[in-house]
Amino acid sequence: MTMELSYTIEEVSQFLKVSKLTIYDLVKKGELPVFRVGRQMRIAANDLDNYIKNNKTNQNTILPASVFKPRRSDPKESNHVVISGQDLVLDMLGKQIEKNSTYKSLRSFTGSLNSLISMYNGECDIVSLHLFDGDTGEYNLPYLKKVLVGHSFILINLLSRKAGLYVKKGNPLKIITWKDLEREDIKIVNREKGSGARILLDEQLRINEISSKKINGYEHEESNHLSVASAVSTGVADVGVGIEKAAKIVGIDFIPLITEQYDLVILKTPANERLISIVKEILSSNQFQLEVDSLGDYDTSMTGKIIYETN
């Protein structure tokens, strides 16, 4: 058998200089063929070459409008559904969607706010959110009302979980509250812009009237909870913001400071009616909730509850 060169979604997005969600959109529309190795999608080099050749005009490579301005997601046109977010429960949801329908789930590991903007641009179907609003004390809905202007949507609870501070085993620096982060003897590790953890930190700094310029390590960014927890574990930083689950996985201490409402948002369109029905049924099922409960550190008492729905 001849070995054929292939690329990951990330490699193709870097090559074409577009976002990964744009590549997912091309896959969903059937414009770019993929094959799977386990749960990872790959794109054959020949297929990528053909895609570029087919979209050349006057010998210059001009990518179609869909690359720069992705068409709105429409699961009815494709059996792929893009689920955006990082929590492992989303993988479980994807498996249940595949088990209970003809959809194939694709995962995008993008932060909450960036995912929400991608949904506004029509690049994903299900977005997970944990966006804290310091003015209202609410999660998610204040951001949805501002970002998804002109769109109908449904917001459904996935789970609740504790968020707070990662500290070294034994908490040698006696870090207790958000106010401790401005201490000169403390160095933090931050999350990337657009992530829910980054927004939680920035909102708490604003509420507590702490300038980010006073925070040692504020510019040091990591792209997921485990990377932040690992930075604290290895001594690269003294403290980071994240969820309880990652602290237990890495083996460091955790200071819980807030209960996060972790929700899913789906646009209400005729094409999404079936998808919404399937997701609601899965989240409300005892089987799914028991599976999530078995992981520990998650609260499913509100799982499946409709938090908000536009007309």
Q: What is the pTM of this model?
A: 0.77
pLDDT at 117: 93
**Which pLDDT value is given to residue 69?**
35
**Length of the chain in terms of residues written:** 311
> What's at 217, amino acid-wise?
G
Pairing of strands 153-167, 253-267: antiparallel
Question: Which residue ranges of the chain lie beneath pLDDT 70?
Answer: 1-4, 17, 39, 56-78
Q: What is the pLDDT, as a whole number, of residue 52?
A: 82
Query: Taking the CB of residue 31, how many other CB atoms lie within 10 A of it?
Result: 15
Q: What is the DSSP string of 219-256?
A: T-EESSHHHHHHHHHTTS-SEEEEEHHHHHHHT-EEEE
